[in-house]
Amino acid sequence: MSTHVPQEQDESNVDAGESRPRSSHQDRRLQDKADRAERNKQESEERAGEDEETVEIKVFRYDPEVEGKQEPRFDTFQVPFEKGMTVLDTVMYARDHYDSSLTFRHSCRQAICGSDAFFINGRQRLGCQTQIAELDTPVRIEPLPHQEVVKDLVVDMDSFYEQMEAVEPYFQTNEAPDDELAEQRQNRENREKIKMGTRCIWCASCMSSCNIAAGDDQYLGPAPISMAYRFAMDEREGEDMQDHRLRIIEQEHGVWRCQTQFSCTNVCPKDIPLTEHIQELKREAVKKNLKFW
């Protein structure tokens, strides 16, 4: 998927001739918005003066398309505080009550869809999994660093997906039983070994926290390597496939780039021991003496 900004006259709009008079319209909107923002600001200041407990959030804003938002900035919102409130709750509140153009991904609200990884008070975390009560205020919410920003808190995930796919993230075996009702058994220990690696929710926090990934966009990166680990260590795939997998992660921009800084392991919301997985693959590769480049 591309991230280009559509031209004024998008060819997919079959209503030819009906060009949208967007600019003046946009200007008017933006003026309205500015007025509203002013009102909201007053309202939230009044709020802050009342008994009601509020939390102040500072949210990164940017939209390549809208004049006035092309210069990145931070917007401040006062959100009424409730016990148990998460960072995701606060941005949802700000969007629903103050500014409907505030943009971020989210869906499950339970740390399983992986779509709301943000840079919260200087660290990669899932918005829905982070309790406000645990944070210093004002809470600063930014898009994941080292990823291109599409708009506000939304980053471009394409390169992450590409790296994920580069490690062939799918089960490959020649040993599945022919009988459609017979299981390809796996012993408990082996399942236990790969278990953590299967938990990845593709949130990209680890990639965003990794200095090496930031400087080398071809480096496979922690989540993809851990994905490779999950399959390489799965005994059901067999020896040959394991060699094949080790070859993939051993390439020039593979495991040897990792400098064991542990930043990925520290931020992973699913507690996946990424650095450990990477180290173990290095050991495995050395054991097999598989240096090809």
Partner 1 sequence: MHEHDVLVVGAGGAGLRAAIAAHEEGADVALVTKLHPVRSHTGAAEGGINAALRDGDSWEDHAYDTMKGSDYLGDAPAIETLCQDSPKETIQLEHWGMPFSREEDGRVSQRPFGGLSFPRTTYAGAETGHHLLHTLYQQVVKRGITVYDEWYVSRLAVTEDPDPEKRECHGVVAFDVQTGEVAGFRARNGVILATGGPGQVFDHTTNAVSNTGDGPAMAYRAGVPMEDMEFIQFHPTTLPSTGVLISEGVRGEGGILYNEKGERFMFEHGYASNSGELASRDVVARAELTEVNEGRGVDDEYVHLDMRHLGEERIIDRLENILHLAGDFEGVDGLVEPMPVKPGQHYAMGGIETDENGETLVSGLYAVGECACVSVHGSNRLGGNALPELIVFGARAGRHASGTDLGEAIIETGKTEDTEIGEVDTPVAPGAIHAGDTDEDAVADGGDPRSEGAGVIPEPNEVVERALKAENRRIDHLMEKDEGIQQAELREKLQKTMTRNVNVFRTEEGLKQALRDIREVREQYQDVYVDDPSRTFNTDLQQTIEMRNLIDTAEAITLGALARDEFRGAHWRQEYQERRDEKWLKHTLLSWNNGTPELWYKPVILEGEDKTYEPKIRSY
According to CB under 6 A, which residues from 98 to 117 bind ligand FES? 106-109, 111-116
Q: State the minimum distance, in angstroms, from the CB of residue 129 to ligand SF4.
A: 11
Closest approach, Cβ 224 to ligand FES, in A, equals 19
- For 69, residues 6+ apart whose C-beta sits below 8 A from its C-beta are 61, 62, 63
Q: For ligand FES, what does the binding mask look like between residues 123 and 162, x meaning CB under 6 A?
A: ---xxx----------------------------------
Question: Which of 240, 276, 244, 271 is closest to 258 using CA atoms?
Answer: 276
Minimal distance in Å, beta carbon 1 to ligand FES?
20
Least distance (Å) between residue 256 CB and partner 1: 25
Task: Report the partner that residue 95 touches, choosing among partner 1, ligand FES, ligand SF4, none (CB closer than 5 to 8 A by kind).
Answer: partner 1
Distances (CA, A) of 266 to 104, 167, 218, 270: 23, 23, 22, 10
Tell me if 144 contacts ligand SF4 by CB under 6 A: no
Contacts of residue 224, Cβ cutoff 8 Å, sequence gap at least 6:
163, 164, 166, 167, 169
Return the SS3 of 262: coil
- 166 lines the binding site for partner 1 (CB under 8 A): no
Cα–Cα nearest to 102, from 130, 158, 141, 144? 141
Phi/psi at 123 (nearest 5 deg)?
A: -145, 145
x-or-dash string of contact with partner 1, 41-80, rule CB under 8 A: ----------------------xxxx--x-----------
Least spacing, CB of residue 125 vs partner 1, in Å: 11
Footprint of ligand FES (CB under 6 A): 106-109, 111-116, 126-128
Footprint of ligand SF4 (CB under 6 A): 200-206, 222-223, 226, 268-270, 272, 274
